[in-house]
Amino acid sequence: MSKVQVIIRLKNGVLDPQGKTAQHALQALGFQEAAQVRIGKFIELELDGANPDQVNTRVREMCEKLLANPVIEDFEILGG
């Protein structure tokens, strides 16, 4: 069993109203240093019976096919 984490971020230049709202809330709470907040996704996968050499390639395929939308998102695979 291998565990792989994927981080999905909105691309630079894509407006993130959710991050903006959280940033404003942080500033309202006194965290003036919160200059920018961007909110993405964290996905944790457990892969059963996967060939360790192919884990990265397979997870990359999963991201390209389903988990991320290349029009608006970048992904990063951690571990695996």
Binding mask 55-74 for other proteins (x = CB under 8 A): -----------xx-x-xx--
Tell me the C-alpha distance between 48 and 34, whole Å. Answer: 40
User: Which helix (H) or strand (E) element contains residue 26?
Assistant: helix 17-28
Residue closer to other proteins (CB basis): 1 or 66 = 66
Tokens standing for residue 74: 């970048």
The interface with other proteins within residues 6-65 (CB under 8 A) comprises 13-18, 20-21
Q: Please state the φ and ψ torsions of residue 16, each to the nearest 5 degrees.
A: -120, 85
Which residues sit at the interface with other proteins, rule CB under 8 A? 13-18, 20-21, 66-67, 69, 71-72
